[in-house]
Amino acid sequence: MTKKPKIELSALEGRIGHAFQDRSLLARALTHLSAPAAGGADRTQSYQRLEFLGDRVLGVVIADMLYQGFPQASEGELSMRLAKLVRRETCAAVAAEWDVGPHLAMGQGEARAGGRKKEAILADICEAIIGAAYLDAGFAAAHEVVARSWRPRMDADVSPERDAKTAVQEWAQARALSAPRYVELTRSGPAHAPHFVMQVVLEGYEPESGEASSKRAAEQAAAQAFLARRSGA
């Protein structure tokens, strides 16, 4: 029998930093597409729509925090920091800190496959919870949720970020390779809150992709992913 989110969510709300007025929003944010209630044509009962919203809210909040926190930083540095803070790994780490796993509603097969610990699922759940907090109590509440878990990460990374695109170009030049190319894979979302997925292409190597709320930040994220995979190569 598929496990559903625990009825008692006070401890989870405490870790998130928001007490929901409408707990059905939190329950939906914890519902994976594989759960019976979210299956079939009615996908609106899963976390997917909330994840879409939360992704955009997270980007805006982090951008604001970076703008206020690093008044001397260039746009390139801010973009690099943004890409690092909103990437899948960071969101999954936050969800793990919130210990959302035991509360997730998902199909038996997904649960047996380790779905409660999968990085991609945890990252989506994290963003869905942010979206749920936004709908429950507005932008200020969502801002507080994000700041509570992301500010320590932002403050801990005090040194300026190296420009990843420049680093990839230098990496390619050192190996007598052609200059890297950046390809737009997808663009989604409304005009005021777009979401880009960009790919860095280097002849002879597997391409890497990155995503962010601006094309430049997504390119930096893709370059950072390329460097991370081939560090020491």
Q: Which of 115 and 187 is assigned the larger pLDDT?
A: 187
pLDDT in tens, 112-169: 898 899 999 999 999 999 999 999 999 999 999 999 999 999 988 766 556 788 888 8
DSSP 155-205: HH--SPPP-HHHHHHHHHHHTTPPPPEEEEEEEES-TTS-EEEEEEE-TTS
30 neighbors 100 (Cβ within 8 angstroms): yes
For residue 4, pLDDT over 50 is answered with: no
Q: Which residues, at least 6 apart from 52, have a Cβ–Cβ distance to it below 8 Å?
A: 131, 189
CATH number for domain 164-229, candidates 3.30.450.70, 3.30.160.20, 3.40.228.10, 3.40.50.150: 3.30.160.20
Residue 70 has pLDDT above 60, yes or no: yes
Identify the bridge partners of residue 181 per DSSP, sorted by sequence position. 201
Is the confidence at residue 45, as pLDDT, over 70? yes
Q: Taking a C-beta distance cutoff of 8 angstroms, is the pair 2, 112 a contact?
A: no
> Of 51, 110, 124, 127, which is the active-site residue?
127
Known active-site residue 127: yes
Candidate list 51, 55, 161, 219, residue with the active-site label: 55
Q: What is the mean pLDDT of residues 58-74?
A: 91
What are residue 187's phi and psi, to 5 degrees?
A: -135, 125
Residue 9, pLDDT score: 85
The whole-number pLDDT of residue 167 equals: 84
184 among known catalytic residues: no
SS3 readout for 28-64: HHCECCCCHHHCCCCHHHCCHHHHHHHHHHHHHHHHH
Confidence bin at 213 (pLDDT 50/70/90): confident
User: Kind of pairing, strands 195-201 and 208-212?
Assistant: antiparallel
Could you tell me the pLDDT band of residue 108, with boundaries at 50, 70 and 90?
confident
State which fold the 10-156 domain adopts. Answer: Ribonuclease iii, N-terminal Endonuclease Domain; Chain A (1.10.1520)
Specify the pTM. Answer: 0.69
Domain boundaries in the chain?
10-156, 164-229
pLDDT exceeds cutoff 50 at 7: no
Mean residue pLDDT of the chain comes to 87
What tokens were used for 92? 């999954």
- Helix, strand, or coil (residue 131): helix
Give the per-residue pLDDT at 39. Answer: 56
Position 231 scores a pLDDT of: 58
Task: Indicate whether 173 pLDDT > 60.
Answer: yes
